[in-house]
Amino acid sequence: MNSRERSEITVKAESTFYAALLECPTKVLSETVGLVEERKGANTFLRISKEILDPTSLFCRYLSHQTCRQIFGRIHPLYSGSTLRYDNVGKPIGINYFNTRLLLAFIEVQLGLGFSGSFYQQHQRAIEGILAGKPVKFETNYYHPFTHKDNVGIHYILEPNGDRGGYRSEDWENFLKYSKSAIECVFSISPEDFGNTPSGLERAIGQFTNLITAPYERESRVNMFPLRHWGGLIEGILKKKNQEGTNLIPHPVSGERIPYVHFVDCILDMPYQNGAVVVFQSMCGDR
C-alpha cells in the first residue's frame, strides 16, 4: 500500500480533548500546516493531512531527533512498514501511514494540548531545549514524546463514514493472532501463572477476547488499560523466566519467531485506513 492511500485522518474532539483544544492558542491552530479545524453542528473536528511534515515546524524538527527516528522510521515487525520515511541525513520526508503514536506526538508537540498561557510557552521551550541536547525538566499531559509513553484511556477508530473498523482488517487480524500466540507462549513456559491447567489458558484468552477483541469488533473501541495490563503481564513472565528463546513469539504471517512486542506498542503503531475518524474518549496525566 502506498502512502497516498493513508494521506489524511480526522480527529473528533470530545470531553477532555475538546476542553484542551479550547485552550490551544488560535494562532497555533490557524498557522499549523496540514491542520484544518472544522465545526459541524455541536461537533468539532481536526482534519490532519500528511502536510503536517512542514520542515519549519517544531513537530518536524522533533521527528528528526534520533530517538524519534528509531521509533517512527523503523520497520514494524507486524505491519511490514515504517510510519515515516526519512532521507539520508535523518530528516522526515513523508508519512507512509497515520497511526495513534504519530497522532499523539503531533498533539503533544505541535499543539501542546493541555497547556495554556505561559505553561504552553514553557512546554514549547522545554521541547526546544531537549532538541538542543540540554537537560530539561519536561512535563506532558497527553503523550511523552521522548520515551513514547502514551496515556490514552479509551479511543475509537472509525471508517470515514463513521462505521466500524478504522484499521485495515488484515492488520487487526494479525494483531489478534499475534496476541493469542503471545499468551500461548507464556503459558508454555510458565503454566503456573495460569493455574497449571489448559482451562486456565482458555480463560485467559477468553478474558482477552472480552476486554479487547469484542469491544473493537462491536463498536471500534480500543481499551488501552486492559491492553497495558495484558502486555505487562506477558512481559513480566518473559523477564521472570529469562530463558534464551522464550521471548520469541511466532509472527502471525510468516511464522518466523520474533522478539516480543508489547501489546500497547502494537496498537500505537497499527496503521489507520485513509480518512479514518479517531475519537479520544479519555486521556489522563502521567502516572
pLDDT of residue 2: 41
For 54-84, the pLDDT digits (tens) are: 999 999 999 999 999 999 999 999 998 999 9
Residue 239 · residue 190 · CB < 8 Å = no
Structural domain boundaries in the chain: 3-160+275-280, 169-268
pLDDT of residue 281: 73
Lowest mean pLDDT across 34-48, 68-82, 270-284:
270-284
> Mean pLDDT over residues 21-49, rounded?
89
For 137-185, the pLDDT digits (tens) are: 888 877 777 777 787 888 899 988 777 778 988 899 999 999 999 999 8
**Neighbour tally for 163: CB within 10 Å:** 10
CA 3/CA 1 separation, integer angstroms:
7
Grid cell at residue 42: 455541536
The sign one gets for the Cα dihedral 76, 81, 83, 88 is: positive
Identify any residues that bridge with 12 across adjacent strands, giving them in sequence order: 45, 279
Tell me phi and psi for residue 13, to 5 degrees. Answer: -85, 115
For 187-198, the pLDDT digits (tens) are: 988 888 888 888
> Mean pLDDT over residues 43-60, rounded?
93
75 or 247, which is more confident:
75
pLDDT of residue 282: 63
pLDDT of residue 243: 58
Is the per-residue pLDDT at 18 higher than 90?
no
Is the per-residue pLDDT at 47 higher than 80?
yes
pLDDT of residue 141: 78
DSSP string, the chain: --GGGG-EEEEEE-HHHHHHHHHS-HHHHHHSTTEEEEEETTEEEEEEEGGG--TTSHHHHHHTSHHHHHHHSSPPTTTSS-SEEE-TTS-EEEES---HHHHHHHIIIII-TT--THHHHHHHHHHHHHHTT-------SSEETTTTEE-B-EEEEE-TTS-B--B-HHHHHHHHHHHHHHHHHHHHH-GGGGTTSHHHHHHHHHHHIIIIIHHHHHH-EEEHHHHHHHHHHHHHHHHHH--TTTTEEE-TTT--EEE---HHHHHHTPPBPTT-EEEE--B----
Lowest mean pLDDT across 62-66, 86-90, 143-147, 226-230:
143-147
Mean pLDDT across the chain: 87
Burial profile 54-68: b = 16 or more Cβ within 10 angstroms, e = fewer:
beebbbbbbbbbeeb
Residue 226 · residue 232 · CB < 8 Å = no
Is the per-residue pLDDT at 4 higher than 50?
no
* pTM of the entire predicted model: 0.90
